[in-house]
Amino acid sequence: MAIATINPTTGETLRTFEAHTDREVDDRLAAASRAFRDWRLTPLAERASMLSRVADVLDRDAEDLARLATLEMGKTLASSRAEVEKCAFVCRHYAQEAERYLADETIASNASRSWVSYQPLGPVLAVMPWNFPYWQVFRFAAPATAAGNVGLLKHASNVPQVALAIEDVFRAAGYPDGVFQTLLVGGGAVERIIRDPRVAAVTLTGSEPAGQSVARTAGEEIKHVVLELGGSDPFLVMPSADIDRAAEVAVAARMINNGQSCIAAKRFIVHADVYDAFTERFVAGMTGSAMGDPMDEGTALGPLATEAIRGELAAQVDATVRDGAKLLAGGKAASRDGWFYEPTVLADIPEGSPGRQEELFGPAAMLFKVGSIDEAIAVANETRFGLGSAAFTNDEAEVARFGRDLEAGCVFVNTMVASDPRLPFGGVKRSGVGRELAGHGIREFVNVKTIAIA
Ligand code: NAP
């Protein structure tokens, strides 16, 4: 894919970029390696205060940064602003908590004194997606750099201006040269970078095939890898739930980021007793979402990020309908410029069809009617993914069942799934390996060093 800004609202190519040559990449790897030598020895308190300054720069430049994200990938301006704000939050969180998360831990053993010290690994490559073009990067970079690592960002090829803006944010906050750098390269350049001895570890947020490719190379090089991959999150609604609220949250949970979120609710698994009432409200909410220019304040649903993504979503919906699913709303691209797709709801999804098996990355919801909690959990767990899950119920026994039996990295009850710097985030099954955020996230890219004194 060319490295370019193509406005998804109009389809117009606004700017193209030359990829960095191998030589230019090597220069940046050398700079990262040099920077790490000092950065790892910079006191944590100093690194933390620089991270606070990153948050201040994000606050100061929020409006410009938000407009850039909306321009490049089409999310609504309100959600771009909220994303930048959340990035400042994650920086402040680690500025405050890194010292506590990384404090030495004394462990009793046969030694007279033994403890664990959390030490940085070195330059870490971050291969990132376009869908939350700031958040995905900052939720890696804030903890990783606070811990004393240095970051190398390979961002998605459709958000190059955001990628460069992020590098500028770190520079403006006073980060030394080489501590955070953007590499303008395509996916094809990633293997060589992972294999470079100067790169200590790699993290990827993105699709399963990209994750497999990165993990394969990291495995061959015996380098630590964190993967945050796709999801087809279940959203379960039981008879004791507040159905009005469940339907309202369900619409928000499906439509977030124009439907392009890994933790968007994608499969709505509803008990038969409340299925009709929920469906009526849900379909009305989905079709009532105002579609339009994401720069306009009144818009709830903007375009998909690229033409290819819209094409893939349309093919999945078409195949699911051909397999026998019932179309309750939408089901086609919107007739206007740009990569818009109508809010879509399908029901009676046959086994084996894409709507049941795959991740649908756009405003298309799959409805399932179930007769019991056992059936609800079985349907929820039937995909190969295990990222997030949400359940609406006011029955404590059901809450306990969902908490124990849903195969996911998190279970949110009576609310939608959302990441939070204070809570660990990640998936099981094909949704990924490792965790981001909270103490768990900052301890991913460290050497857990045991020190024992006889
Ligand atoms: P993608 O195609 O996998 O792209 C993500 C990043 O990987 C981009 O920087 C891309 O570069 C790069 N890439 C692609 N193929 C690669 C390869 N073979 N080797 C190395 N790098 C490669 O993903 P996407 O379609 O942009 O993003 C959507 C996916 O990300 C969805 O599945 C979504 O669920 C997932 N996601 C997961 C999380 C999470 O936290 N679990 C969060 C957000 C998104 P180019 O752009 O240059 O191709």
* Joined tokens for residue 267: 């499969």
Cα maximum dimension of the chain: 74
pLDDT of residue 187: 97
Q: What is the pLDDT of residues 207-223, one digit of tens each?
A: 999 999 999 999 999 99
Residue 144 tokens, joined: 């990783």
- Note the pLDDT tens digit of each residue in 346-391: 999 999 999 999 999 999 999 999 999 999 999 999 999 999 999 9
Q: What's the mean pLDDT in 23-34? A: 98
Handedness of CA 138, 140, 146, 148 (dihedral sign): negative
Residue-range domains of the chain with CATH = 3-228+428-453 (3.40.605.10), 233-413 (3.40.309.10)
- What's the pLDDT band for 191 if we cut at 50, 70, 90? very high
167-182, pLDDT tens digit by residue? 999 999 999 999 999 9
Report angle CA 232, 237, 241 to the nearest 5 degrees: 145
Across 9-21, average pLDDT:
98
User: Residue 154's closest CA among 87, 121, 111, 199?
Assistant: 199
Q: Is the CB of 1 under 6 A from ligand 1?
A: yes
Instruction: Give yes or no for residue 229 CB within 6 A of ligand 1.
Output: yes
Tell me how far apart the alpha carbons of residues 233 and 370 are, in angstroms, rounded to a whole number.
16
Give the confidence band of 1 by pLDDT, cuts at 50, 70, 90.
confident
Q: Strand ranges (DSSP E) for 219-316?
A: 224-228, 233-237, 265-271
Question: Is the CB of 125 within 6 Å of ligand 1?
Answer: no
d(C-alpha 453, C-alpha 108), whole Å: 11
Q: Which of 279, 283, 280, 355 is nearest to 316 (CA)?
A: 355
- Tell me what percent of the residues of the chain surpass a pLDDT of 70: 100
Q: Which of 167, 228, 312, 358 is catalytic?
A: 228
Residue 352: helix, strand or coil by DSSP? coil
**What's the pLDDT tens digit per position in 272-300?**
999 999 999 999 999 999 999 999 999 99
pTM score > 0.95 for this model? yes
Question: Ligand 1 centre and the CA of 35: distance in Å?
Answer: 28
Residue with CA nearest ligand 1 atom 41: 228
Q: Is the pLDDT of residue 89 over 80?
A: yes
pLDDT of residue 385: 98
Strand 113-120 to 446-453 pairing: antiparallel
